[in-house]
C-alpha cells in the first residue's frame, strides 16, 4: 500500500500504481508508531510554546513573537495533516474525493505558508537592525496581523485555483467517488501541474531574494558597527537559519521529481524511498522552528523553561501530602 507522504507531493508527474508493493505488518506497525511518536513529541513542544506565548501579554504585543507563534501553529497544523494522511493511507486505501480535497488543500496551504512566514520574519529582523529608530512605527502589531492575512491569502491561492479548475473540468459526481488521497489523482488536469510549476518558480525566487537581501544588509550593518554587534550577529544567524529552512521547504517541491526516477531504478525499495522522503521533507524541518526561537531567543527561552518546569511539577505527585498511617 502506498504511504500517504505521497499525497502531498503535488508536483509528482507519475500516478500511483496498483502494483506498488505492500509493507509487512511489522514494518507497517513500526513506521506508523515512529510517525505518531514524532507527531506527539513535536505537538507537545509546539503546544508548550503556544501556551507560553499566550500566558504573557508582552509576547503578543511584539511583532517578532507574533510571526514566530504563527509559524509554530502553521507547522503544528501541517504536521498533524501530514501524519494523519500517512496513517490513513495504511488504514484506508481510498477515501471520498471531497474529504481528500479538504485535507490536501489545507496541507498545501500550510506547506506554502512556511516560506512566506520566513520572509516576513527576515524582514522584521532587517528593520530592527538597519532601521532601529523607525522600528516602532514600521513594525506594529496591526501591520503584522495584516501581513499574516496576506500570507494566508497568497498561500490559499494555488489550492483554490486547483479546486476551481477541477470543478470546471470534472463532473460534480467525481467528488462523491472514492480515491487514493493524492494531489495528482485529485487534481488531474495537466494545466494544474504547469500552473503550479510557474507559481513555484516565482514564489521561491521571491522568497530567496528577500532572504538574500536582508542577510546582506544585516552583514553590512555588522561591518558598520554602528549598532549592537551582539544583536546584529544574532539577527544574521537567524536569517541564515531561515535560509536553511527555505531550502528544506523547497524539498517538498523538488523531491517528487527525484523520487519518481529513484522508484523506477529501485522498485523493490519504493516504500522505503517514500518513507525517507516523508521524514526528510515534512518531519525534519519541523524541528528547526523550536530551535531558532525556543532555544536561541533568551527572552522566550526564559519563560518557556519556567512554563515547562511548572507543568512538570504539576504532574508530579505532591511530596507534602500527609502519609497514611501504617
Query: What are the extents of the domains in the chain?
Result: 4-12+20-306
Please tell me the pTM assigned to this model.
0.81
Backbone angles phi, psi at 179, to 5 degrees: -135, 160
What's residue 245's pLDDT? 77
At residue 8, the pLDDT reads: 41
Residues of the chain with pLDDT under 50: 1-20, 318-321, 326
pLDDT at position 257, please?
Answer: 63
Q: 225: phi > 0 → left, psi -120 to 50 → alpha, else beta; which?
A: left
| pLDDT given for residue 63 in this prediction | 92
pLDDT of 69: 92
Q: Cα separation of 303 and 136, whole Å?
A: 24
Pick the CATH number of 4-12+20-306 from 3.40.630.30, 3.30.365.10, 1.20.1070.10, 3.40.50.720: 1.20.1070.10
The predicted pLDDT at position 34 comes to 83
Amino acid at each position: 500500500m502506498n504511504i500517504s507522504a505521497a499525497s502531498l507531493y503535488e508536483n509528482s508527474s507519475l500516478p500511483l500504481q496498483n502494483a506498488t508493493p505492500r509493507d509487512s505488518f511489522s514494518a507497517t506497525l513500526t513506521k506508523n508508531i515512529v510517525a505518531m511518536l514524532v507527531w506527539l513529541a513535536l505537538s507537545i513542544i509546539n503546544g508548550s510554546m503556544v501556551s507560553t506565548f499566550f500566558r504573557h501579554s508582552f509576547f503578543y504585543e511584539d511583532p517578532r513573537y507574533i510571526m514566530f507563534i504563527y509559524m509554530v501553529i502553521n507547522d503544528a497544523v501541517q504536521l498533524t495533516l501530514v501524519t494523519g494522511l500517512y496513517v490513513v493511507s495504511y488504514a484506508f486505501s481510498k477515501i471520498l474525493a471531497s474529504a481528500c480535497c479538504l485535507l490536501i488543500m489545507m496541507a498545501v496551504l500550510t506547506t506554502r505558508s512556511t516560506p512566506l512566514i520566513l520572509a516576513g520574519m527576515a524582514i522584521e529582523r532587517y528593520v530592527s537592525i538597519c532601521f532601529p529608530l523607525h522600528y516602532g512605527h514600521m513594525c506594529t502589531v496591526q501591520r503584522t496581523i495584516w501581513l499574516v492575512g496576506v500570507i494566508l491569502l497568497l498561500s490559499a491561492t494555488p489550492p483554490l485555483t486547483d479546486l476551481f479548475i477541477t470543478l470546471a473540468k470534472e463532473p460534480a459526481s467525481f467528488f462523491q467517488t472514492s480515491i487514493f488521497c493524492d494531489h495528482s489523482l485529485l487534481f488531474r488536469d495537466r494545466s494544474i501541474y504547469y500552473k503550479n510549476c510557474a507559481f513555484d518558480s516565482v514564489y521561491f525566487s521571491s522568497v530567496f531574494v528577500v532572504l538574500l537581501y536582508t542577510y546582506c544588509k544585516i552583514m553590512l550593518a555588522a561591518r558598520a558597527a554602528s549598532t549592537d554587534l551582539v544583536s546584529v550577529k544574532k539577527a544574521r544567524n537567524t536569517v541564515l537559519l531561515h535560509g536553511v529552512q527555505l531550502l528544506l521547504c523547497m524539498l517538498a517541491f523538488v523531491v517528487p521529481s527525484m523520487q519518481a526516477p529513484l522508484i523506477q531504478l529501485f522498485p523493490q525499495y519504493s516504500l522505503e524511498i517514500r518513507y525517507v522522503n516523508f521524514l526528510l521533507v515534512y518531519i525534519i524541518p519541523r524541528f528547526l522552528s523550536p530551535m531558532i526561537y525556543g532555544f536561541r531567543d533568551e527572552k522566550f527561552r526564559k519563560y518557556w523553561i519556567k512554563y515547562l518546569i511548572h507543568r512538570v511539577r504539576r504532574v508530579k505527585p505532591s511530596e507534602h501530602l500527609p502519609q497514611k498511617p501504617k
